[in-house]
Structure 1
Amino acid sequence: MRAAPLCAALLACAACEMEELPEINVFRPDYQGVETRLLAENLVNLIVRMEGARDGEDVSDYARCAAAQYALIRGFGFARHVRTSVEERAGLWSGDAVYTVSPDLPRGVRTIDAEVVVDDCQARGIPTI
């Protein structure tokens, strides 16, 4: 009769050992700056660099934050994403993004409200230029 509780305890203990420990992934990005190039009156190219990105989405988010702030600096309230190229070499990530900026909501599905995006970026700790 004592064997049953002992077996149950051993099985429970074996299950504990097989349970995977959660992976701890600390995100500590190092944002290394933004280079802006005015391509036309309402078209800007942003080059961003960072280390510690988890993937290309982190780099794209950084470029998006920079584009939103750039739009506000130029007196515009909106931007529209044209393209972003991301690459990683030896832990250094870079993004090459192009956005249009405008005072009115542009046509298209990849538009951003600059004030809303800048607020979100600040809340997330992503620098904006």
Structure 2
Amino acid sequence: MALQKDPDADEGRVRFFSRALGGGTEPDPRFTLANERTFLAWIRTSLALMAGGIGVEAFTSDVFLPEIRKTVAVSLLLMALLVGGGSFFRWLNVERAMRHVSPLPLPLIAPILSSGGALVAVTLVVFVLLRTG
């Protein structure tokens, strides 16, 4: 017995995506798939930041002072949150731009990631320079 598709479900899904993506014309599937791969790369980066934040908090109690450990762990976890959440909006805005043949939006995730990474690095450099022993 063959499965039959529900035409109403397909129509509802098409309406939902058309509204979410703001209409326009369907871009070349290669560009849509490239946008999706970029989204997944940002998600992997977010997961790595999350693992780093958890790792710092769980395994460095004998290395860092509690204030430094918490600052680094929370910074990494906040960056994970921002990159993970921002990646969806980045994907959506790029998809909309491609559908309307308009310039791609500037990435907001990259400055967040670079400034957050710099904050963590500065914190660690200060800790190493001020560490006695």
Larger Rg: 1
More strand by percentage: 1
Report which structure shows greater RCO (CA 8 Å, sep ≥6): 2
| TM-score, normalization by structure 1 | 0.27
| TM-score, normalization by structure 2 | 0.27
